[in-house]
Structure 1
Amino acid sequence: MSLLKDLGSHGQAVWLDFVDRKFLADGGLQKLVDADGLTGVTSNPSIFEKAMGHGDAYDADLAAFDKANPGASAMARYEHLAIGDIRTAADTLRPVYDRLDAKDGYVSLEVSPYLANDTDGTIAEAAKLWGEVDRPNLMIKIPGTPAGVPAIAATIAAGINVNVTLLFSISAYQAVALAYVEGLEARVARGEAIDRIASVASFFVSRIDAKIDDKIDAGVGGDDAKALKGKVAIANAKLAYDWYRDFAKSARWQALAAKGAQPQRLLWASTGTKNPDYPDTLYLDTLIGAETVNTVPPKTMDAFRDHGTVADTLGADIAGARHVISEAERLGLDLDGVTDTLVEEGVGSFSKAFDDLLGAIAAKQPATA
């Protein structure tokens, strides 16, 4: 059995953090579903920028769209191309979705990163993309910013699946977990079904260690802090999962579960290691637990398939995780400040990738008109 497929026996789903038209057309996604038990796909502006902005895989489709829609904006052309890929991926995963009765088999598409601080704009775009893709196994990605939280609740209440992205802190995760609950409760109050609505909370990992390690290397915390290198992000994730397990026992959640509500699974994102000194499977080996997802870039997926370690690690040594976080605070590593900065940088990075993507698509226009 594939080591990736073996994660399923521990209750963890594996999603691919990549989408590309040639990869889809060549059957690459189907191969991962068959061989590794893959159950989902995520995309983001950076991934689409690499896919669409380089090479010619999209040129024929773009030329046909431009001919039928003269004068279309770069945004309209991007959405046409992205929706095509997302539909193809969703159709590939539809048998997984059907077999698992809507509990998995999802493909994620992000609202514009320009809307990260616009609640109403996010709600409107989520509804628009949901209608245009027209696949039940779509998740709309909404950032877990302060403006995103009420948008998440409203989008869930509208019956649209949501992948909450750009989560770094436990407090931000708790806010979106409660937004998911609020959305479900609004549906229950209207007498609407909640059993086929799904959500994941994408908690980013490696970027936290990259920031904390830079501080330690710069001398913050002195020699004592060196023992924390490569440990803070994992400890942070473990404590988020520990909160999730406690909340799942609460009367508020149990009332929804009795009506068929699906748990909002924690999804580990940014799981490729950025420090070459760390094992390349670090953020898979250490974050395995029931009712979670790990979304994995292709290179890290290959590494785990070759030499990953499968064990129930996520719920282990919570006391040790608490100690790591308390030491980080004692030594002045400012995890809260780091996570706040990472949200801002994440929104900025995705906006820059979107700028580049729209620019690349606009540049293709003269050659395909």
Structure 2
Amino acid sequence: MDNNKVKQIHDYGQSIWLDFIDRKIIFSGELKKLIDEDGVRGVTSNPAIFEKAISSSSDYDQDIARLTNEGLSTDEVFFGLAVSDIKLACDVLAPVYNQEDVVGADGYVSLEVSPFLARDTQATIKQARELWEQVDKDNVMIKIPGTQAGIIAIETAISEGINVNVTLLFSLIRYEAVVEAYISGLEKREKQGLPINHVSSVASFFLSRIDILVDPFLDKNGLGDLRGQVAIASAKTAYQIYKKLFSSERWKKLSEKGAVPQRLLWASTSSKDPAFKDTRYVEALIGPDTVNTIPLQTLEAFRDHGDPASRLEEDLDSAASILEKIKAGGIDMEAVAVQLENEGIDKFTEPFQKLLDAIEKQKEQAGV
């Protein structure tokens, strides 16, 4: 077994993706190093990540001026910059995607549709198509939020052969709807006689945000001993749903045609409560056929003092008991999920608007 603790996670069947991208990490060779030394097998991005990359660096100034001079709007300038970075990252990860044993098992880079479209089905579909065509790489995933409006967009994108990273999932009920959209999309595609063996998707279940919201309610309801446990219990329950849905007779028909399951991806896995270990959400949910996307700081922490072991199916009775206890204590997890979804959209919309404002400012300073 490799001594690198991050790389050891792969021995338990889980893929580690990096939740970060900028030009420096690509051009410096650091991303390639993370792939080679830590076994990183994918990259995810979001508006907040791009906002930080573009606003805090001069690396993008020339391209902003060039794209503006081509007559692009501020929104189009951003996606021009983002598509360029995503293409570069896709190329770096191409060897992972093109592995001889299982082509397309990993090696994906995710690019998100505009957060302004989170509640607009048709606009989301339109932009997902555009971004898919602009990146034009087999190993890109288009991130579509798992909102009610996003469900139809997800099914449509999958039916058109677009790889999808479903983002902003907090609810077990919504997760089942996302799996239904994925399977239905593949069924539509298969009925049209189109190949389904290279269509890939992940369902991104956000974790630490659940505990940050729920823990204060636990204290108020006499359930303080469950602090920091609800998100992990929810994730373990989601994994059991995953195993059930992707072992059904309905799924087996697609599997026989080469379809691959939509893996669960654990997101928001940096520990935001200093009372808990900084690798908590990584260690607790290591298990087969899953993905964990982690920020660079969390990856470095796990490399230093993480404890790799397969724990995703440990204490399942305890996980079920935790969810029953909070329900009995008056905490409605579906209501929690709705609040978190709305807050999640805001958390991406605000930096996206800030990013557009920063690009606009840079355009003015450059006189374009």
Q: Give the shorter-chain TM-score range.
A: over 0.9
Residue segments in structure 2 that go unaligned for 5+ positions in a row: none
Q: Could you tell me which residue of structure 2 aligns to residue 359 of structure 1?
A: 357
- For residue 267 of structure 1, what is the amino acid of its counterpart? L
Tell me which residue corresponds to 2:310. Answer: 312
User: Which of the residues 28, 31, 45 maps onto 1:29?
Assistant: 31
In the TM superposition, structure 1's runs of 4+ consecutive aligned residues that sit over 6 Å from their partners are none
| Segment of structure 1 superposing worse, 327-336 or 5-14 | 327-336
**How far apart, in 1, do the equivalents of 2:355 and 2:105 lie?**
32
Partner deviation per Cα, 1:106-134 (whole Å, 9 max, x = no partner) = 00000111111111111110000000111
- The residue type paired with residue 343 of structure 1 is E
* TM-superposed deviation, 1:306: 0.9
Q: How many residues align?
A: 363
Amino acid across the alignment from 2:343: E
Local SS of the residue matching 2:143:
strand
Find the counterpart in structure 2 of residue 293 from structure 1: 291
What is the one-letter code of the residue matched to 1:187?
A: R
CA distance in 2, matches of 1:254, 1:24: 39
Amino acid at match of 1:90: C
Whether the 8 Å contact between 1:103 and 1:196 is mirrored in structure 2 is no
Q: Supply the distance in 2 between the matched residues of 1:188 and 1:341 (Cα, whole angstroms).
A: 36
Aligned to 2:48: 46
Match of 2:14 in 1: 12
Using the TM superposition, give the Cα deviation of residue 310 of structure 1 relative to its aligned residue in structure 2, in angstroms. 1.3
Give, as a single letter, the amino acid of the residue that structure 2 aligns with 1:142: I
Within a 5 Å distance, the mapping from 1:60-209 to structure 2 comes to 60-67=62-69, 69-70=70-71, 72-99=72-99, 100-209=102-211
Post-superposition Cα deviations, 1:30-72, rounded to whole Å, max 9, x if no partner, equal 01000011110000001111111122121122223333x14x2
Q: Work out the percentage of aligned pairs sharing the same amino acid.
A: 48
Instruction: Assess if the C-alpha contact under 8 Å between 1:17 and 1:297 holds in 2.
Output: yes
Contact 1:16-1:298 at 8 Å conserved across structures: yes
RMSD (Å), alpha carbons? 1.0
Report SS of the residue matched to 1:57.
coil
Q: CA deviation at 1:339?
A: 1.1
- Map of 2:300 onto structure 1: 302
Deviation at 1:290, TM superposition (A): 0.6
SS in 1 for 2:148: coil
The Cα shift of 1:332 comes to 1.6
Amino acid at match of 2:352: F
Residue-by-residue CA offset, 1:317-369 (whole Å, 9 max, x unaligned): 21110000001111122222111100011111111111111011111002223
CA contact (8 A) 1:280 1:303 kept: yes
State the secondary structure of the residue aligned to 2:202.
strand
Amino acid at match of 1:95: P
Match for 1:170: what amino acid?
A: L
Q: Is the 8 A contact 1:83 1:133 kept in 2?
A: yes
Give me the whole-angstrom Cα distance separating, in 1, the residues matched to 2:55 and 2:162.
Answer: 29
Aligned AA for 2:245? F
Task: Structure 1 unaligned segments of length 5 or more: list them.
Answer: none
The secondary structure found in structure 1 opposite 2:56 is coil
**Within 1, Cα distance between the matches of 2:22 and 2:209?**
24
In 2, distance between residues paired with 1:355 and 1:61?
19
Separation in 2, partners of 1:265, 1:90:
20
TM-score for the superposition, normalised by structure 2? 0.97
Q: CA deviation at 1:281?
A: 0.4
Question: In structure 1, what is the Cα distance between the partners aligned to 2:320 and 2:158?
Answer: 32
* Corresponding residue for residue 61 of structure 2: 59
Q: Does 1:250 align with 2:252?
A: no
- Alpha-carbon distance in structure 1 between the residues aligned to 2:242 and 2:331: 25
Cα distance between partner residues in 2 of 1:250 and 1:34: 37
Give, in whole Å, the separation in 2 of the partners of 1:65 and 1:270. 33
Once residues 275 and 32 of structure 1 are traced to their aligned partners in structure 2, the CA distance between those partners, rounded to angstroms, is 26
Give the aligned residue type for 1:64.
R
Asked if 1:342 is matched to 2:344, the reply is no
- Counterpart of 1:214 in structure 2 is 216
